Chain A
């Protein structure tokens, strides 16, 4: 009897833990893709602000509006300090490693040149982000398949434990 209780407890822990991990992973992948798209929107907004208003970098970052609260906080923080230091502080929570790397390189050059070079920087960064978004969109279904496989594996393990 005691053995069954322990087996049931272990199985339940496995199921609950697995369910939590899988749900976080699923939403994490979707969020990172959405934030990569927001980053692309920020780059385009930056290019327009430089070309048509010659707005300063703090003005651009404060003026960018997004429904994503974490992204908005990143912009506010970057406006007060710099985009480089804001990304260093919280970039890994928002972006996958590939998108973060692109944004860090963008931040290192943002504001350091005249209009033509800054618009070129925005154009190059936009292209890189578009490619990155395509990669994320392709890998997201594969990731979900992998997650379903892991889920199945966990269930089988539970059954074996209980038998």
Chain B
């Protein structure tokens, strides 16, 4: 007689995400988690659902996704069920999500990022509407207390007078680190404004930390609004990119406000390939650039710190 395979508990950090789905979908996902290895079950980062093809849970192993847990939707996932799933993710109001759908995501509550893709209607060269959504990717946020580690210590030792740029490839944990910094900075009584364009930074207790959240604001407009209205010492934003964002960071700095931001990149050299980041470095906005890496299966970061004077040499 075969031994029964032990069934895993559903990790606490995934449970809120499961409430987003219709019952049939939720049951299939929980079944997949219960039946997989405990190590995989504890490291789920994304829930990827597809109308056609195999749906699965992504498992993070540091840089990039090393594994996945297939979800068995045979006989369950129909076109109607998938359409109902997307409809419920839009809170029963597709029209209210039109702006974010054009940019490829749905703004969910509680810090979940829901990426979507389907068929675009294009008008005058720009996406006007997205129809027949057939792929959904929900990033599951996870609190890692102390994730900011060395970055927090450097800020504290510097008397909270440093702007910081955190970089890494996608999926390493920049957003997790920023959330931990928000909680620590606000907890230390410092006025912090968070430009939360996609609703991800508000998750895992950051929203209740005492920081001021500009939810859904485009980054550049949010930073300018924050400087003018909330008198922050720090502005925190995720995924800095584009000329407008860089100008807003410069504006904030000229008003005495420090910025903590993240950017995609594998090294300082890669960051310097982007003109807007290179210009910010030359303008001495960021006194610290911190690269983060994570060993496979680990939740602790390895930090690579590049200081201002080194940055200037590299940027020339």
Contact = CB atoms under 8 A, between A and B. Distances in A.
B92 A114 contact: no
Contacts of B17: none
Interface in A45-82: 50, 54-58, 82
B119 to A, nearest CB: 13
A82 B98 contact: no
A113 B97 CA distance: 10
A112 interface: yes
Contacts of B94: 111-114
Interface residues of A, number: 14
B93 interface: yes
Interface string B86-97: 010011111110
A58 B91 contact: yes
A57 B91 CA distance: 8
Contacts of B90: 111
**Most chain B CB neighbours (cut-off 10 Å) among A57, A82, A110:** A57
B134 interface: no
B110 interface: no
B174 to A, nearest CB: 30
A115 interface: yes
Interface string B79-105: 000000001001111111010000000
Contact of B92 (A50, A54, A58, A115): A58
A118 B92 CA distance: 12
B91 A118 contact: no
Interface in A89-142: 110-115, 118
B93 A57 contact: yes
**Most chain A CB neighbours (cut-off 10 Å) among B91, B92, B95, B96:** B95
A55 B92 contact: no
A159 B129 CA distance: 72
A111 B92 contact: yes
B95 A54 contact: yes
Nearest to A51: B95
B40 to A, nearest CB: 35
A103 to B, nearest CB: 16
A111 B93 contact: yes
B114 to A, nearest CB: 15
Nearest to A110: B92
A57 B87 CA distance: 11
A113 B90 CA distance: 11
Contact of B98 (A55, A57, A112, A115): A115
A143 B91 CA distance: 43
Nearest to B121: A114
B87 A55 contact: no
A55 B91 CA distance: 11
Contacts of A110: 92
A112 B98 CA distance: 11
Contacts of B96: 54-56
Interface of A: 50, 54-58, 82, 110-115, 118
24 contacts: A54-B96, A55-B93, A56-B91, A56-B92, A56-B93, A56-B96, A57-B91, A57-B92, A57-B93, A58-B92, A58-B93, A82-B92, A110-B92, A111-B87, A111-B90, A111-B93, A111-B94, A111-B95, A114-B94, A114-B95, A114-B98, A114-B129, A115-B95, A115-B98
